[in-house]
Chain A
């Protein structure tokens, strides 16, 4: 170990470039080493929380505490977890049948659950005392099954979806407003975290519908080729949201221009079931039926990271922690997994020199990212065989489709088969 130099003194150093030749090759070597080390230290898996007795159907973060999460399972059980201690703090048999949705109140004092038993229940965050039965603060019995719930960012209202999208006041037992547009059932509804009066929902008629709670009618809907399962708003960019689609892709939309998605994110090889943005709004994580989690930069078409383990089955829900450091995934085989958001990041406090070194290494990798060796190493990921096979198959299918289309175009009247970009292909219609 080098002896630390007193910060105030500093070492006089001659920066004359003639004394330090070969700057590019030297930095290149450093970059190559940094890339290799990054891959070697890429160990994203942190912990697994087990205890549920059925597949996890939903996860939610505590609004005010980083270390607490709640998860709901398919048997109606809700568990509150402490992440640093990796243990379950509290178990509640909340519903009969699935717990379909959980959301935390913005103040972090209570949370809401909805389930297959047509009820909305509000629970206290604090566990009842010893010997006291777990009882919800409020229970609202609805007319139909609720499939999702989300809470307003700052006010005492929340929204549920099922056969209609209902907006509720916490103080009332009937919705203060309900939206419906045609007869569909909705699978997901989310409040916009920035423009807090905006809502978006995914309907079973393959559409994504936008609402404004101040208006009497929905705003607009976009119908895609296949159904969207969930969607998530960008917490830093008010007019972008990303929806996870059944057709293996994710689509980022600008609500001002719904006719074409801003970006199509493709890499999954099966239906995408959940998506959540990082709190910085730069990236999002998606969970898929293909047993993997992928992390996408918000403006890139392909993922920067793929996480999987041997035992992780279909991933049903995924959340990005509020400090931008971790990703949580809940899967079919009853486990919640905690992953690092940056696979090779060192956890905990770093010394100033460590920090400087990591920053330098990151910058080096970025600088030399186009060099073949660096790129090759940085991009390498291990994937299980079956997913790889599926991927190959998909590629072949896409190629075949493309070829077919090309042939059709070749043999038909010019202009009759228009050349559609990947973005344009998936939107069927925008309904006003």
Chain B
């Protein structure tokens, strides 16, 4: 304890040495003797010793013996205080503390900086006022009376003391209320009380009923209500035809609303999920049926009871058949052209609950469409690229639009094939252990040269001159060691076996290059016409010849290295001996079977074409983990040819948006940090205080920290 005290005192002294700037405050006290020249307390010139103070302590009874003893010991001890740290060391300590403090303070930006780095779009200047519509309160608060007319109106309003904001009771009314007699007031109060009590009962009941989760209960309730209503309505027809008419109008209105809305039309999320389940689940099917029924009921035209019979018959004749009123299964709510049979992912039935319809936003719809397109695109590519489509997809796609799609897709087949082949090669190469990281670094480099580019022609010339590297890259064989790298194992299974799938498809493909859409009979006709037209030249045999030639070219040739006459007699008519032929005729290993081996009517070129290769990515670019990722990023089109306007806008929005002619100020701490802290729970004020305090506390904190630093220093 004593030592601690000593240490503290010594450090206090040290710090006083460190801060010579800070002078000790002079103190002046009131005293009996007032000098003419200066104000002084008694005995200020004298030094105060510890013993002087101790004398009184001894006398006072309040001080404990323990402290007295300690003080006495302190007095008797003769140890001197430790030397203060030298200047360099103290400064170093101070710097260390200050640095720590500053870094801690600066670190509060971390989240904001990260957030900004990840943000898809940043709009500068940062704290712009939103240009969108404002809330009513904001507008009202900012509005001021300007024109004389407005002023007059305001004066009138305020003069009559009309309530502007909360029109419950005007002051005048209140006054009149106050002016009521006591009995009246009492009665009125009682009435009000009763009404309030009733209302609260009713509310409580409604609340309780609302809380009941059982769907069945509500269903029954609703049914009962409807029944009641119908009964009432029937009665009303007899007693009060005008009221009935009103009711009828209301019903008509509700029918209109129903027809307008997508409620009960099986197009919502719930409905879709149910639609999937409907195949297997009876209850789901039933639920959907119910929804449809509901829709039907609601949209049914009410028969006007007052109408005559023949009129109703006529109406029956006039009305269009019932299915017209039936809601279409809206497959694509935005695009009305899409309601044909293009998609079959959606089974016939689908429905939506009320809330979902209301919440379904435009964006979601857009996304849905895009999702659908993407799915279709993938599907198409899948059955062309033989990504082995799943059973379901196959069924769905190939039911009806098979013929139509096929013809278009056949057109694509060749291209897809080539591409798939190439991409596979590409992926092989990446797996061949090429250093992507190093290449990435390379990628950032500008290729600087002495060629000036002034026109597009120059760029074309640039093609040939610069960088032959892209073309010459070899198709590296797949090595066993490289297989172990990055590619996940299940990916390998999905590796396309072209042959297999192509054999299946071969049946379907009849005329590989028929770009138009034709019917079945027309096609037969076409075939016969073509046959007639090309009766003379034998295209098919030409094709077969061509194919066999190509196959032969691909077959491994036997290399004959025998040198006749080497190591034996030579001359005309002498053949090299058998052993020599055996030894020096080298057979290379046969290449893997051709891709079109089992396809009689297709030639698949297996040559690597340089013209295409120069346009292909030879290795996996940096941010991508595997080839599939990269391919999918390339496959998704972003143009307006393939996407709706809003989607294009979203996809192509730039990362940084600046306002023309606006000065972009640096971030202001108060705008960002404070708002965050207030959101966290009103810490803003505390932080502000802390900042203010900081300057003052600087010295104090260093003291404490210096104390803790002592043992190490």
Bound together, the chains give a CA A219 to CA B450 distance in angstroms of: 47
Q: In the assembled complex, how far is the CB of residue A96 from the closest CB belonging to chain B, in whole angstroms?
A: 34
- Chain A 114-128: CB-based contact to B (< 8 A → 1; otherwise 0): 000000000000000
Give the residue name and chain of the A residue nearest to B445 (CB): A302
B658 pairs with A15, CB closer than 8 A = no
> Counting CB contacts under 8 A, is B39 at the interface?
no
Q: Which residues of B contact A27 (CB under 8 A)?
A: 637-639
Interface pick from B70-78, B187-195, B664-672: B664-672
Bound together, the chains give a CA A198 to CA B103 distance in angstroms of: 11
For the complex of A and B, 9 pairs with smallest distance between CB atoms:
A193-B666, A279-B664, A235-B666, A370-B621, A302-B444, A372-B470, A215-B98, A23-B637, A383-B448
Q: Which residues of A contact B404 (CB under 8 A)?
A: 18
Given contacts A302-B444, A372-B614, contact A356 B652 (CB under 8 A): yes
Give the residue name and chain of the A residue nearest to B441 (CB): A301
Number of residues from A at the complex interface, CB < 8 A: 86
> Counting CB contacts under 8 A, is B634 at the interface?
yes
B444 pairs with A391, CB closer than 8 A = no
> Counting CB contacts under 8 A, is B280 at the interface?
no
Query: Of A16, A20, A36, which one neighbours B342 at CB under 8 angstroms?
Result: A16
Query: Of B455, B641, B665, which one neighbours A20 at CB under 8 angstroms?
Result: B641
Residues of chain A from 199 to 215 with CB closer than 8 A to chain B in the complex: 210, 212, 214-215
> Counting CB contacts under 8 A, is B369 at the interface?
yes
B669 pairs with A15, CB closer than 8 A = no
Give the residue name and chain of the B residue nearest to A239 (CB): B106
A–B complex contacts, Cβ < 8 Å, 23 sampled: A10-B645, A12-B337, A15-B369, A23-B377, A23-B639, A23-B641, A27-B639, A212-B102, A279-B664, A280-B658, A282-B656, A359-B652, A360-B640, A362-B652, A372-B467, A373-B614, A373-B615, A375-B443, A377-B459, A379-B447, A380-B466, A382-B451, A383-B448
B446 pairs with A381, CB closer than 8 A = yes
Q: In the assembled complex, how far is the CB of residue B516 from the closest CB belonging to chain A, in whole angstroms?
A: 14
B454 pairs with A376, CB closer than 8 A = no
Given contacts A12-B336, A21-B408, A363-B652, contact A304 B666 (CB under 8 A): no
A256 pairs with B641, CB closer than 8 A = no
B666 pairs with A214, CB closer than 8 A = no
Q: Which residues of B contact A90 (CB under 8 A)?
A: none
A40 pairs with B637, CB closer than 8 A = no
Q: Which residues of A contact B616 (CB under 8 A)?
A: 371-372
Bound together, the chains give a CA A81 to CA B94 distance in angstroms of: 46
A24 pairs with B103, CB closer than 8 A = no
Q: Which residues of A contact B664 (CB under 8 A)?
A: 279-280, 322-324
Give the residue name and chain of the A residue nearest to B630 (CB): A370
A238 pairs with B639, CB closer than 8 A = no
> Counting CB contacts under 8 A, is A367 at the interface?
yes
Q: In the assembled complex, how far is the CB of residue B112 from the closest CB belonging to chain A, in whole angstroms?
A: 9
Q: Which residues of A contact B637 (CB under 8 A)?
A: 23-24, 27
B660 pairs with A15, CB closer than 8 A = no
Q: Which residues of B contact A398 (CB under 8 A)?
A: none
B451 pairs with A18, CB closer than 8 A = no
> Counting CB contacts under 8 A, is B122 at the interface?
yes
Interface pick from B174-182, B313-321, B409-417: B409-417
Q: Which residues of A contact B504 (CB under 8 A)?
A: none
Given contacts A14-B338, A282-B656, contact A303 B694 (CB under 8 A): no
Bound together, the chains give a CA A393 to CA B102 distance in angstroms of: 43
Given contacts A373-B463, A380-B453, contact A238 B667 (CB under 8 A): yes
A238 pairs with B109, CB closer than 8 A = yes
B455 pairs with A15, CB closer than 8 A = no
Q: In the assembled complex, how far is the CB of residue A222 from the closest CB belonging to chain B, in whole angstroms?
A: 12
> Counting CB contacts under 8 A, is A196 at the interface?
yes
Query: Of B405, B441, B453, B617, which one neighbours A371 at CB under 8 angstroms?
Result: B617
> Counting CB contacts under 8 A, is A364 at the interface?
yes
- Chain B 620-661: CB-based contact to A (< 8 A → 1; otherwise 0): 010000000010011101111111110011011110101111
Give the residue name and chain of the A residue nearest to B122 (CB): A280
> Counting CB contacts under 8 A, is B456 at the interface?
yes
Question: Which of B113, B419, B645, B659 has the most C-beta atoms of chain A within 10 angstroms of its own C-beta?
Answer: B113
Bound together, the chains give a CA A1 to CA B449 distance in angstroms of: 38
Given contacts A15-B642, A40-B459, A198-B102, contact A306 B448 (CB under 8 A): yes
Q: In the assembled complex, how far is the CB of residue B19 from the closest CB belonging to chain A, in whole angstroms?
A: 8
Bound together, the chains give a CA A194 to CA B102 distance in angstroms of: 13
Q: Which residues of B contact A415 (CB under 8 A)?
A: none
Give the residue name and chain of the A residue nearest to B663 (CB): A322
B338 pairs with A367, CB closer than 8 A = no
B444 pairs with A300, CB closer than 8 A = yes
B448 pairs with A215, CB closer than 8 A = no
New contact pairs (4) apart from A323-B663, A382-B448, CB-CB < 8 Å: A12-B336, A21-B411, A194-B109, A371-B617
Q: Which residues of B contact A196 (CB under 8 A)?
A: 669
A30 pairs with B639, CB closer than 8 A = yes
Question: Which of A14, A219, A303 has the most C-beta atoms of chain B within 10 angstroms of its own C-beta?
Answer: A219
> Counting CB contacts under 8 A, is B452 at the interface?
yes
Give the residue name and chain of the B residue nearest to A193 (CB): B666
Give the residue name and chain of the A residue nearest to B644 (CB): A15
Give the residue name and chain of the A residue nearest to B619 (CB): A370
Q: Which residues of A contact B644 (CB under 8 A)?
A: 15
Residues of chain B from 252 to 295 with CB closer than 8 A to chain A in the complex: none
A236 pairs with B667, CB closer than 8 A = yes
Q: In the assembled complex, how far is the CB of residue A394 from the closest CB belonging to chain B, in whole angstroms?
A: 12
> Counting CB contacts under 8 A, is A217 at the interface?
yes
Q: Which residues of B contact A25 (CB under 8 A)?
A: 415
> Counting CB contacts under 8 A, is B380 at the interface?
yes
A388 pairs with B449, CB closer than 8 A = yes
Query: Of B337, B409, B445, which one neighbours A379 at CB under 8 angstroms?
Result: B445
Q: Which residues of A contact B419 (CB under 8 A)?
A: 24
Q: In the assembled complex, how far is the CB of residue B690 from the closest CB belonging to chain A, in whole angstroms?
A: 12
Bound together, the chains give a CA A322 to CA B295 distance in angstroms of: 60
Q: Which residues of A contact B648 (CB under 8 A)?
A: 356, 360
- Chain A 260-285: CB-based contact to B (< 8 A → 1; otherwise 0): 00000001000000000001101000
Bound together, the chains give a CA A382 to CA B449 distance in angstroms of: 5
> Counting CB contacts under 8 A, is A45 at the interface?
no
> Counting CB contacts under 8 A, is A26 at the interface?
yes
A238 pairs with B451, CB closer than 8 A = no
> Counting CB contacts under 8 A, is A17 at the interface?
yes
> Counting CB contacts under 8 A, is A153 at the interface?
yes
> Counting CB contacts under 8 A, is A425 at the interface?
no
Query: Of B380, B449, B452, B615, which one neighbours A17 at CB under 8 angstroms?
Result: B380
Q: Which residues of A contact B470 (CB under 8 A)?
A: 372-373, 376
Q: In the assembled complex, how far is the CB of residue B589 from the closest CB belonging to chain A, in whole angstroms?
A: 32
Residues of chain B from 333 to 384 with CB closer than 8 A to chain A in the complex: 335-338, 342, 369, 373, 376-377, 380
B456 pairs with A280, CB closer than 8 A = no
B408 pairs with A381, CB closer than 8 A = no
Q: Which residues of B contact A375 (CB under 8 A)?
A: 443
Give the residue name and chain of the A residue nearest to B622 (CB): A370
Bound together, the chains give a CA A99 to CA B538 distance in angstroms of: 90
Q: Which residues of B contact A14 (CB under 8 A)?
A: 335, 337-338
Q: Which residues of A contact B107 (CB under 8 A)?
A: 239, 256
> Counting CB contacts under 8 A, is B429 at the interface?
no
Q: In the assembled complex, how far is the CB of residue B696 from the closest CB belonging to chain A, in whole angstroms?
A: 10
B412 pairs with A21, CB closer than 8 A = yes
Q: Which residues of B contact A236 (CB under 8 A)?
A: 113, 116, 666-667
Bound together, the chains give a CA A217 to CA B663 distance in angstroms of: 35
- Chain A 1-35: CB-based contact to B (< 8 A → 1; otherwise 0): 00000000010101111101111111110100000
B462 pairs with A377, CB closer than 8 A = yes
Give the residue name and chain of the A residue nearest to B113 (CB): A237
Given contacts A39-B459, A324-B124, A376-B447, contact A195 B98 (CB under 8 A): no
Give the residue name and chain of the A residue nearest to B106 (CB): A239
Give the residue name and chain of the A residue nearest to B335 (CB): A15
Give the residue name and chain of the A residue nearest to B377 (CB): A17
A217 pairs with B466, CB closer than 8 A = no
Bound together, the chains give a CA A22 to CA B419 distance in angstroms of: 11
Q: In the assembled complex, how far is the CB of residue A419 from the closest CB belonging to chain B, in whole angstroms?
A: 15
Query: Of B91, B96, B633, which one neighbours A367 at CB under 8 angstroms?
Result: B633
A279 pairs with B124, CB closer than 8 A = yes
